[in-house]
Structure 1
């Protein structure tokens, strides 16, 4: 399985290098900047190292194959077929292998050898070998860096649970923790010209967008009784708990995070200041319709590609729009019940508060083209576990030891940026609540 992880890492590095050259080619086929050239050369050097490692692994596999002893199979009885048709292995559900690795290490107090034995007894030789091949983390004491193949699998299954990711935000590989690329600050124009007339200069304006890995830590307490059980039902339950722990933190940061040296910026900080539109003072069908039109028009007028547009709002705001009626008692926005508004999907989350503003009753509604939001993922997850740690449970500090639990800590690294900051707008001061139009 190590060779598979190495090839996956090589593919990620090559994708990052290709992204740099593609960005330059799409930008009037310009030369690479100094920073881009350095990043490209770094990716190439890393690719050479990975290729050498893969070659060594392939050489070992070939030698093992040549040294393998033949297996003598006794002849089948006359009334039975001489061979048995091969059965295809049933693929594991996304995130299951990652969870098995986590459970094994947690069950054995992060002792890798004991964890490998536990995994082999619980799920078979293949899983035992995978656990045995995990690398000790250099950044987290006592932690293990999960192979890229299984970390990527975990991130993939995380996507539909994080509102921003589910609406179409682009995940960009960032294997070395840094990525610099071009973004647009103003759209381009074109014009018709006559014969021998120079082509008009477009007014496209570009800037540089740099992303550097920010560390997310999620603490997920799991009862020891569950960790010791190996059934698929328990594995998927723990997988969902791990996903939920990370998803809640990502949603909160990707939407409203102020951003600094340690945390990524959210949509509210990445968008233009002029795209934050106060909601109307009164709440009627007319003002609600006008406010929703304003926020959409702000994005459309910026000549945004409109590839993957959507809304983000709280359950309270969605319920208000779902139950809003016109003067004849008809539902004003019937498609909201199916999760859409003006044809665009609605992402509903409690990561946007309903208690903002002076009165403590305001919220926000976001709209934009999420294909213009970049999430740089290092595509690696580090896990550590302790049955003696304490954790914050809604303001109450609880002891894992006293509760017979193990606290699993997941560490992921990512950052955010926009290809076009005008691609997002928001309504502020939203006090809409079911029944307000009555």
Structure 2
């Protein structure tokens, strides 16, 4: 599907160009700097080249379509009938085709020809052809690179399941695996001037942010009984298992990963040290309210856009705030029960631990403008499987063969970065638990 890859690349180039203009617009609607203009012009040249290639591909496809012969149904006795109009294909639920590809490859132990036959028997010729056209991944031995169309469909489904994505982090196409853009390291200042008085210079500092694809591997065990079933209900169940496996990994990395050459940085590592605030020693309604105010104020005073703000906390912390009462016995934060705090949505996840610190009872609470967090997605997912592999199930090593399971390995590539690092802050040493008030 060359034309699909070209369009994905074009989307990534245009997104990078748009970010250059957006950066200038948020810095007082200024003109592009000379360096930004050069970078913007280079992106436009690249986009023009991609559009030319896409045009050629579309021209070839159009000519191919013009040579297709209509299907003619012959009536008994040789009387010809008219051509049969094409019926519109039924719209499949999101992620269905991706899951069918994974199930077919898993059912046939990664034998592509057998998997294509398996898919055709269960779901028809179209699915069989799609499985047959999967490319062998050059990066992963024994894995198949799922077509970007179906990979992107699968990645889109992760948004409501991954706390960081659900709170508004921006997903940027990164089809070539690398993306470089400017980010803001210090805000702007402006002032009023009199007639014939030079305008004040804006106090803007910008840096460069580079993202390069890091590899995430998720192992998802699926019973062989499910893999051999063809119903839409089973496909959706397997799809949800695959999504959950990736979502848990992404949450853990996007929030707390220290980052290195092979792992993206999480929020805790991306924000400045000065934005990490220690919780008060006492736990009272007064100190809790003050700590939450400090967290919000740290972000607000940084002059960030406040476009998509939200909280990240553990179930324990959320339950504490939900049940905290004032001196009259009234619930102090009634909106927490509906998933909000001070009007901002709460992202609750166990990917933030409750066992940090010397005493093993500390946690963290995050607040920020998630529109300033970028996730560069290559929009390519590789599938591999094994019915003899072993996997770690919460500290217990289990055998797929003994349990009549197949372990599906999903490999996705992405990286993280911030347009404005001070858009995030966190409370550390949080020991709040229900019953502490």
Q: Please confirm whether the aligned pair reaches a TM-score higher than 0.5, indicating the same fold.
A: yes
Match of 1:125 in 2: 125
C-alpha distance in 2 between matches for 1:20 and 1:412: 24
Match of 2:162 in 1: 162
For the pair 1:218 / 2:218, whether they are aligned, the reply is yes
Match of 2:8 in 1: 9
After superposition, residues 368-407 of structure 1 pair within 5 angstroms as 368-407=368-407
Tell me how large the CA RMSD over aligned residues is. 2.6
Q: Tell me, what secondary structure is at the counterpart of 1:436?
A: coil
For the pair 1:196 / 2:217, whether they are aligned, the reply is no
For the pair 1:59 / 2:60, whether they are aligned, the reply is yes
Per-residue CA distance 1:207-232 (angstroms, 9 max, x = gap): 11111111000011111111010111
1:47 Cα deviation (Å)?
2.5
C-alpha distance in 2 between matches for 1:376 and 1:252: 17
C-alpha distance in 2 between matches for 1:52 and 1:360: 60
C-alpha distance in 1 between matches for 2:84 and 2:174: 46
CA separation of 1:102/1:60 partners in 2, compared to 1, >3 Å: closer, same or farther? same
After superposition, residues 243-392 of structure 1 pair within 5 angstroms as 243-392=243-392
- Whether the aligned pair in 2 keeps the contact of 1:17 and 1:43 (CA below 8 Å) is no
Q: Tell me, what secondary structure is at the counterpart of 2:149?
A: helix
Residue 28 of structure 1 is aligned with which of 8, 28, 31?
Answer: 31
C-alpha distance in 2 between matches for 1:328 and 1:434: 18
1:41 Cα deviation (Å)?
8.5
- Whether the aligned pair in 1 keeps the contact of 2:73 and 2:84 (CA below 8 Å) is no
Match of 1:72 in 2: 73
Is the deviation greater in 224-233 or in 15-24?
A: 15-24
| TM-score normalised to structure 2 length | 0.91
C-alpha distance in 2 between matches for 1:88 and 1:99: 22
C-alpha distance in 1 between matches for 2:184 and 2:352: 28
- Whether the aligned pair in 2 keeps the contact of 1:7 and 1:54 (CA below 8 Å) is no
| TM-score normalised to structure 1 length | 0.91
1:9 Cα deviation (Å)?
2.5
C-alpha distance in 1 between matches for 2:254 and 2:86: 47
C-alpha distance in 2 between matches for 1:259 and 1:35: 31
C-alpha distance in 1 between matches for 2:99 and 2:307: 34
C-alpha distance in 2 between matches for 1:258 and 1:14: 28
C-alpha distance in 2 between matches for 1:42 and 1:135: 30
Is the deviation greater in 258-267 or in 23-32?
A: 23-32
Is the deviation greater in 33-42 or in 351-360?
A: 33-42
C-alpha distance in 1 between matches for 2:61 and 2:346: 52
CA separation of 1:210/1:83 partners in 2, compared to 1, >3 Å: closer, same or farther? closer
1:128 Cα deviation (Å)?
1.4
1:36 Cα deviation (Å)?
4.3
1:180 Cα deviation (Å)?
0.9
1:40 Cα deviation (Å)?
3.7
Q: Which runs of 5+ in 1 are unaligned?
A: 76-81
1:185 Cα deviation (Å)?
1.0
C-alpha distance in 1 between matches for 2:68 and 2:237: 42
CA separation of 1:275/1:17 partners in 2, compared to 1, >3 Å: closer, same or farther? closer
C-alpha distance in 1 between matches for 2:349 and 2:342: 19
Q: Tell me, what secondary structure is at the counterpart of 1:161?
A: coil
CA separation of 1:39/1:250 partners in 2, compared to 1, >3 Å: closer, same or farther? farther
Per-residue CA distance 1:162-196 (angstroms, 9 max, x = gap): 00000000111111111111111111122222333
C-alpha distance in 1 between matches for 2:182 and 2:320: 40
CA separation of 1:404/1:38 partners in 2, compared to 1, >3 Å: closer, same or farther? farther
- Whether the aligned pair in 2 keeps the contact of 1:6 and 1:54 (CA below 8 Å) is no
